[in-house]
Structures are given as C-alpha cells and as structure tokens.
Amino acid sequence: MKKLCATLLCLALCMGVLPVRAAGPEVNARAALLMEKSTGQVLYEANAHAPLELASVTKVMTMLLIMEALDAGTITKETMVPVSATAAGMGGSQVYMEEGEEFSVHDMLKAIAVASGNDACVAMAEYLAGSESAFVEKMNARAAELGMEDTVFCNCTGLPAEGHHSSAYDIALMSRELILRHPDIRTYTTIWMDTLRDGDFQLANTNKLVRYYEGATGLKTGSTDAALYCLSATAEKEGMELIAVILGAPTSNDRFEGAKALLNYGFAAYALVPVAPSEPLTPVPVTLGTAASVQPGLAQERQLLLPKGEAGKVTTTVDLPSALSAPVEAGQELGHLTVLVDGQAVEEIPLVAQEAVGKRSLWQVYGGLLAALFCGAGEAGF
C-alpha cells in the first residue's frame, strides 16, 4: 500500500497537479485563493504565490487598462478601433477579425470578456499604446503599482510565452482592482450570449458560472496545454463580492467546481458588518467659535469582514474631547472610534469635524458680551 501511495504521489507531481488543501474547501488545482473585494482580505489560499502560467486570465489586466483609458477619457465606448494584420493573425481563441475591419471599444470589450478574443486584445493594445510590446510594458508597470510581485507579462493575450507567469494572489489583486474601481466591467463579464457584426457573429461566454452560479459577476477563464484550466471568478451576494482564483486545474469542470466551492465557502462562512457608533455622536462644544459646537463623524465608511458567528459581537467606544477651541476646520480629526469584536479592539477609525467652525473676532466677542449684559439688565428691571 505504501508503495502504491508513493507511486501515485510521484505521478501526481509529474503531472504538476495536486489537490490543494487548507482550512476550507478542497480544490483540485495547482493553486487557489479566495479574496473579499472591499477589504482585500484573503479568506482561503493554497500555493498562493507560486509563479504559474495563467493563460487568458491575463486578459484581466488587459481589460483593466482599457477601463482605465475609458475613465481617463483617452477613448470612449464609441471609439472605432482598426484591426491590423498582426491582430487579425493572432491564433488561439478569437472572433476572426479581418485586417482593415473596425470595431467600437464596446464591441472589443465584448469580444475580450465574452469570447476571450486574442485578436481584439491585440487590436486594443496597438490602439492604446502603438504596439503590443508597448502595451505590455504598461501592463507590467501597472502590475508593479498593484504590488503584483509574482507577475511578469510577455503579451496581452495569455498565449504561451517563456517567462509569462503570475500567481493566484496577484490575479486576485488585479481582479479586485478591476471590479472595485470599474464596476461597469460587469456590463461585459456577465453577458452569457451576444453577437458582433450586427448579429452575424455569435458570442458565448467561456465562463459557465455566469449562467449557472447565482450572483456571478465575471470574470475571466483561461486554458492552454501548459497552464491547464484557470479561472478568476467573481460573485456577489448580500452586498459582499468575492474573488475566487483557480490555477492549473486538470479539467474545465475542476476549475468551475473549485471556484464554486470557494465561493460557497466564503458566502457561508463570512459576512460584511458595517461599522457605526453604538449611539449617536454628541456635538463637541467649541470655545469662541462662530457656532456653539461641531458635529463629529466617521472619516470614512467602514465595514469589517468577520466570520458569521462573530457578526453580532461588534461594539464600539468613542474618544472625543470635552471641548475645542476655535477655529475648527472641516475634516479636522477630533478623536477616534474604537471597534471591538468580542471585547477585543481590532481597529481605530478617526472621527472628524463634519463642518468648519470659525473663530469669533474681537468685536463679535464684545458684541456678545454687551448683548448678554443688556439682556440681563432688562430681565433684572434696571
């Protein structure tokens, strides 16, 4: 029996695929990771930083740069993008664009997000940066900005190339940036079926979770002989969006089942809990101010990601001064809110002035004193 187990282990290692195990579900893949979008907190990981081929999951970065160009106003969704001979000649998954054709950015995004079109990727890369190689430089620069330390991009498509690799963690980072900063990408990543060329060319999403997993919002599949089956899957339920990354699954079904297992685990085990003071915040008196007091408030909205069993154990304490001296600037830090889970402090959030309070001038002070004096004299009957 021991010899049989050793033999099976050797075979698995030679194939490069082992079921990865950690606290949580079992996933049959080389690497896997589950991340919550708003906090960036990792809920599950296995071989998370192993540098692996990622196939067309590469296109998450390509889509991110396109969406950033849209936000910057460099292009619009109506911008027409020409197809070069190079773009038209791309192999692998494609929508069979021909040299000299033009497609809108809107249609290019459909082709990339739904059909994983390599030709559309290269056409967009050439339009935005002048060449695919120049676009790839932008991809690597953006990856560095996002802290993707395990990643090197050699092309914008994910076609096999020596040295082209990433990790489950890095893929989660770029996927988070895309869905967090550019939620409009869902317009494309949630399409199940659509068309190009005025209905003459059919598109079907390579991500089957879009149709078969409740709450699925995207994001991108990928597969090659070397990378095996890969996926960055996103889904949202009850206001929480999760990112499940699968790299190197032996079959297409394994990658989808693995992603579903991760997502189901995350939604079942965790919840986002809004942070708010236990009681309304009392205004803080302001000495010599143009207003008698200033209203404190949270510097930013905050949510905690907690195991569901701890969601009801959140309490807060408030630390504010008994009084302030004018002037007070809007946004000025006044104190802090301490957040506790089961009695243990986990975070401090600044409390800031919700409005400015100016300092009264010398004449305003004298005027107030005189008014108080005369009002007091009148009431006394003098």
- Which of 84, 93, 116, 223 is catalytic? The answer is 116
Verify cis geometry, omega within 30 degrees of 0, for the bond prior to 283: no
Question: Looking up tokens 């664009």, which residue turns up?
Answer: 97
CA distance 164 to 153: 5
List phi, psi (to 5°) of 273: -115, 115
- Which of 59, 110, 138, 260 is catalytic? The answer is 59
Query: Do residues 25 and 265 touch, judged by C-beta distance below 8 A?
Result: yes
Q: Where are the beta strands (DSSP E) in the chain?
A: 19-20, 27-28, 31-36, 42-46, 80-82, 102-104, 193-196, 201-204, 216-224, 228-237, 240-249, 270-274, 284-287, 293-294, 296-298, 303-307, 314-319, 324-325, 333-341, 344-353
List phi, psi (to 5°) of 206: -75, -15
The answer to whether 56 is a known catalytic residue is: yes
- Which of 56, 93, 166, 232 is catalytic? The answer is 56
Neighbours of 18 (CB within 10 A): 15
Query: Which active-site residues does the annotation give?
Result: 56, 59, 116
